[in-house]
């Protein structure tokens, strides 16, 4: 099992079996998740956070009572590859850290991910 998935993703939110959880909040299942076909979606979600998920990218991470948890491009790629190839997910094309690196280098601002602004574009895909 990927150590970052185990310690940061599964421990409280997505659970060891990637089945998700409901309690103090809703933590979506990652098992058999068709949205994981997009490595870009995963990289941006990990870097910038999404809905109630915290950001793990240095630009967007917020510490709650301590320093923020920040993942490197290699750690993000490891989590992406692990989740995309386990738990009933069969997306075999690996990510080698380029998605996190590219997402960090792009001018990622509100209006791109999680804040869909009509007409904004990211990786050539325009939000309607």
Locate the domains of the chain by residue range: 32-126
Q: What is the pLDDT of residue 83?
A: 92
CATH topology of domain 32-126: Cytochrome Bc1 Complex; Chain D, domain 2 (1.10.760)
Residues 6+ apart with CB under 8 A from 5: 79, 82, 83
What pTM was estimated for this model as a whole?
0.69
Per-residue pLDDT for the chain (128 aa), expressed as one digit of tens each? 678 888 888 887 888 999 998 887 888 999 999 989 888 889 999 998 888 888 888 777 777 777 778 888 888 888 999 999 999 999 877 666 655 555 554 434 433 333 333 443 433 343 33
Q: Which two tokens stand for residue 36?
A: 């994981």
Instruction: Read off the DSSP letter of residue 120.
Output: -
């Amino acid at each position: 099992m990927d150590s970052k998935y185990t310690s940061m993703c599964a421990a409280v939110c997505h659970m060891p079996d990637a089945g998700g959880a409901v309690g103090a909040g809703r933590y979506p299942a990652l098992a058999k998740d068709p949205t994981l076909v997009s490595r870009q979606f995963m990289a941006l979600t990990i870097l910038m956070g999404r809905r109630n998920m915290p950001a793990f990218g240095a630009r967007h991470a917020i510490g709650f009572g301590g320093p923020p948890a920040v993942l490197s491009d290699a750690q993000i790629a490891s989590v992406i590859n692990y989740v995309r190839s386990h738990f009933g997910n069969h997306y075999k094309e690996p990510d080698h850290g380029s998605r996190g690196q590219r997402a960090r280098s792009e001018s990622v601002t509100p209006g791109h991910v999680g804040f869909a602004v009509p007409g904004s574009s990211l990786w050539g895909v325009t939000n309607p």
